[in-house]
Amino acid sequence: PRPILLTRHGESLDNVRGRIGGDSSLSEVGLLYSRKLASFIEKRLASERTASIWTSTLQRSILTAHPIIGFPKIQWRALDEINAGICDGMTYDEVKKNKPEEYESRGKDKLRYRYPRGESYLDVIQRLEPVIIELERQRAPVVVISHQAVLRALYAYFADRPLEELPNIEIPLHTVIEIQMGVAGVQEKRYKLMD
Ligand code: F6P
């Protein structure tokens, strides 16, 4: 059975600064992950005749895929991180201080809360529909290099997690989550490539 390999991009400069959204590049640590990921993928998919690498259109995702050679890469806008609208580029502390009402509403209902001029988790789930259809249609393995909120939605779909739990699922950096869909149901393995 064909695996789906899910990973966040390597640590970005905005991750280091604690800023949400943005389109920053990778930190040194993030660059190291991109190389570790490439050698992991090379070994893991060595026996596969075909496979493809799917990224978002954001720098940190594209740069994480960069060292992987030998497989076609596809950029999906639908894999871009949740759009934080007017809060894009802020830290959580800045949101709390400058937009206390927004901070509070999000805390009350993270799944349905929509950032002004941005998106909610429900919006993200909806825009992922074509990606999910395409993933299910694939006969070969797919490596998805995306972002925290988007991967929560994809993971919840494949691992059959309840909607209410979805916005708080832990998707750590520098870890590959492998999902296998077989006759016996869904199996999951995690590979922590770096601390
Ligand atoms: O902090 C990294 C990040 O990908 C942000 O860009 C994004 O806004 C956030 O995670 C999503 O996580 P949460 O919904 O928990 O704020």
Q: Which of 11, 19, 81, 152 is catalytic?
A: 81
Q: How far is the CA of 65 from the centre of ligand 1 (A)?
A: 20
81 is an active site residue: yes
pLDDT at 2: 87
Q: Which of 15, 19, 102, 106 is catalytic?
A: 15
pLDDT at 184: 82
8 is an active site residue: yes
- The interface predicted TM-score (ipTM) is 0.99
List Cβ neighbours of 45 (8 Å cut-off, separation of 6 or more): 51, 71, 141, 143
Q: Is the CB of 84 under 6 A from ligand 1?
A: yes
pLDDT at 121: 99
Note whether 178 and 155 are within 8 A (CB).
no
112 is an active site residue: no
Q: Is the CB of 56 under 6 A from ligand 1?
A: no
Q: Please tell me whether the overall predicted TM-score, pTM, comes out greater than 0.90 for this model.
A: yes
List Cβ neighbours of 109 (8 Å cut-off, separation of 6 or more): none
Chunked into runs of 10 residues, the chain (195 residues) has average pLDDT values of 93 98 98 98 95 98 97 98 98 98 98 98 98 95 98 97 97 97 89 95
Say whether 161 sits in a helix, a strand or coil.
coil
Q: Is the CB of 102 under 6 A from ligand 1?
A: no
Q: Closest Cα partner for 91 from 148, 18, 21?
A: 18
Note whether 38 and 193 are within 8 A (CB).
no
Residue of the nearest CA to atom 10 in ligand 1? 148
83 is an active site residue: no
Q: How far apart are CA 154 and CA 69, in angstroms?
A: 25
Q: How far apart are CA 87 and CA 56, in angstroms?
A: 20
60 is an active site residue: yes
Residue of the nearest CA to atom 11 in ligand 1? 149
